[in-house]
Chains A and B, each alone.
Chain A
């Protein structure tokens, strides 16, 4: 039963509900599993295991009490042999047919599993790459360097990368001037359709004047005419407060 898909499990369970013979065979297998398991050499619990479980139990709420699971009473082994004549052979044939069906299903399942493993490995590699990129862009320990013409003082500068279709925005700024404790910088997306500016995230520079906004919640499909930065009260604002201290198209 353990290797079956949910669909196969449902089909098998439905069959078991109607077939006393197969129920009895399954019961016998489960008893075997229990008996062999109980024969396992006993090992002491790891130190503190009992306390850890008790603490976890204390933190875990119980689910709402549902209707008790009904339990099928299986006939004893002797009854299996004595109680079935030709009906037993019919049931046995049915059980063989089910076994063949399940064997085929199992084979297909293994193929699917291998495909899924390859897909998961690919996705995991892509996720690692994406995480690496995000970390490099946003890590507070990443060195931010702004290149300017020689001997020019470094000015506040921000770089916005925006994907309108997905509403995905990454904003990285450096050389920002500090803001008062009760103030914050706020990034704005200025829509190309002339509608009101959309707030795109609050940020405060760190000691080196760097800050970033990564994937703020934005509506999808909004083309941007420009981006701007204002200084707002610490909780942010729904509309920009002039002056616009940084902007770019």
Chain B
């Protein structure tokens, strides 16, 4: 029978007799270790931390709430089935989940078989996604930068990221020369990278 797990984002539950989930990096690794040992409550806590982010990316790509939820569920169930693939090594779990969500969603719209998982990788060292405050601060910064991009750069970047189009396909779709498309995406990425280094 499924258990009723506490939602750490819910203040009422935080004050209950259950141990609240601490948001720090060591705790994130601890959660993963507990998931590896079959702790469903830890899985629930991890979902509370990253579920919305994963769902939002899938929804942005798929534009369908049902399909987005399917993608989100598959990702977390896969993580539950084989957490050892995620546990070891240094890297950003939140970033990893976002990339997997984006790739799986593109697979869905292109009717491809699911992609192989990507390798773990490190986000800029100043970023600690496990800490809610830092995570929110980073997300605000990213959104601000994305919003400030020139329209044509933003369009090219979004077509590449959220529709999974290649540079050539973007060129065909927008009617812009291929070189222009590449330049716009490169400039957009440089702007974002610069902003995050500050």
State the A residues within 8 Å of B (CB): 1-3, 9, 27, 30-46, 49-63, 65-74, 76-77
Interface magnitude class on chain B:
35 or more
Say whether, besides A34-B92, A74-B122, A53 and B115 are in contact (CB < 8 Å).
Answer: no
Residue numbers in A under 8 Å from B166 (CB-CB): 3
Say whether, besides A54-B44, A65-B36, A71-B120, A31 and B87 are in contact (CB < 8 Å).
Answer: no
Task: Give me 8 other A-B pairs in contact (C-beta within 8 A), A57-B40, A62-B83 excluded.
Answer: A2-B115, A35-B123, A39-B146, A53-B76, A57-B43, A57-B77, A68-B89, A70-B88
Residue numbers in B under 8 Å from A58 (CB-CB): 1-3, 40
Leading 7 A-B pairs by shortest Cβ distance: A71-B89, A34-B95, A68-B88, A39-B142, A37-B98, A58-B2, A55-B2
Residue numbers in B under 8 Å from A49 (CB-CB): 51, 55, 69, 72-73
Residue numbers in A under 8 Å from B157 (CB-CB): 36
Say whether, besides A38-B94, A71-B89, A50 and B7 are in contact (CB < 8 Å).
Answer: yes
In the bound complex, CA of A55 to CA of B164 (Å): 32
Residue numbers in A under 8 Å from B161 (CB-CB): 33, 36-37
Say whether, besides A54-B44, A57-B43, A37 and B99 are in contact (CB < 8 Å).
Answer: yes
Q: Is the CB of A60 within 8 A of B80?
A: yes
Partner of A38, one of B44, B48, B95, B189: B95
Q: B residues 44-83 with Cβ under 8 Å of A?
A: 44, 47-48, 51-53, 55-57, 59-60, 65, 69, 72-73, 76-77, 80-83
> Among B13-21, B22-30, B102-110, B174-182, which stretch is in contact with chain A?
B102-110
Residue numbers in B under 8 Å from A30 (CB-CB): 95, 99, 118-119, 121
In the bound complex, CA of A204 to CA of B107 (Å): 47
Within 8 Å of chain A (Cβ to Cβ): is B133?
no
Q: Is the CB of A43 within 8 A of B56?
A: yes
Say whether, besides A37-B102, A38-B138, A58-B3, A69 and B84 are in contact (CB < 8 Å).
Answer: yes
Which of B95, B119, B193 has the most chain A CB atoms closer than 10 A to its own CB?
B119
Q: Is the CB of A69 within 8 A of B85?
A: yes
In the bound complex, CA of A236 to CA of B161 (Å): 61
Q: Is the CB of B55 within 8 A of A27?
A: no
Partner of A45, one of B51, B102, B107: B51
In the bound complex, CA of A66 to CA of B87 (Å): 11
Residue numbers in A under 8 Å from B116 (CB-CB): 1, 9
